[in-house]
Amino acid sequence: MLKISVLASGRGSNFQSIIDAVKSGRLNAVISLLITDNPEAFAIQRAGDNGISHLVLQPKQFGSKDGYYQSIADELKKRGVDLVVLAGFMRIIGKPLIDAFPNRIMNIHPALLPSFPGLHGQKQARDYGVKISGCTVHFVDAGMDTGPVIIQAAVPVRDDDTEETLSERILKFEHKIYPEAIRLFAEGRLEVAGRRVRIKDSPPDDQGLTSPSLG
């Protein structure tokens, strides 16, 4: 069974969607640990409510960024973690953790990468005037939201959208595609070749794009 660790900094709504997928049986995995850099994160309560252990690890406890991420990597390896899942972890992942878990760290971003990386992807999309935005699950590399794309969901941008209304519409699809990407990983169906992620045993027209009705 796939053993997951989640890194989160805030409320952890994507963390909850993964918990729900495990509890429902849709995802054959166990969440072994939550690591947070924020002792006030609501994700801690979600972990406690579901019997999941947590650790608060903050960079100021360590001598350097590399030391911080090496400590996280050591904790995860000690627990036999197979996949690291970022659920609103508000830091750029350091090299020691990436090197310890190559193509085994996932992130979700509230835009259709490579468009609008970084903070406030929803606001960037709205301000730019695009008609379609969405969300992306990708593997993490050393860049900011630059790793190979696993799944994307397309979401319409309406003329009267605010950052908040667009964010809420996108979030509903984040909660769908993140557990799905983890399920594909658990089933051994993700094959990474350079920048491309192939979903094995899927039809050619179903390679990781989900689109709601535009009505």
* Residue-wise pLDDT tens digits, 41-81: 999 999 999 999 999 999 999 989 999 999 999 999 999 99
**Residue 215: strand, helix, or coil:** coil
* Residue-wise pLDDT tens digits, 53-63: 999 999 999 98
**Active-site residue list:** 109
* Spatial distance between the Cα atoms of 149 and 155, rounded to a whole number of angstroms: 17
Asked if residue 96 has a cis previous peptide bond (ω within 30° of 0), the answer is: no
- On whether the CB atoms of residues 128 and 104 are closer than 8 A, the answer is no
Structural domains in the chain, CATH included, are 1-101 (3.40.50.170), 108-215 (3.40.50.170)
pLDDT at 154 over 80: yes
Give the predicted TM-score (pTM) of the model.
0.92
What would the mean pLDDT of 176-185 be, rounded to a whole number?
97
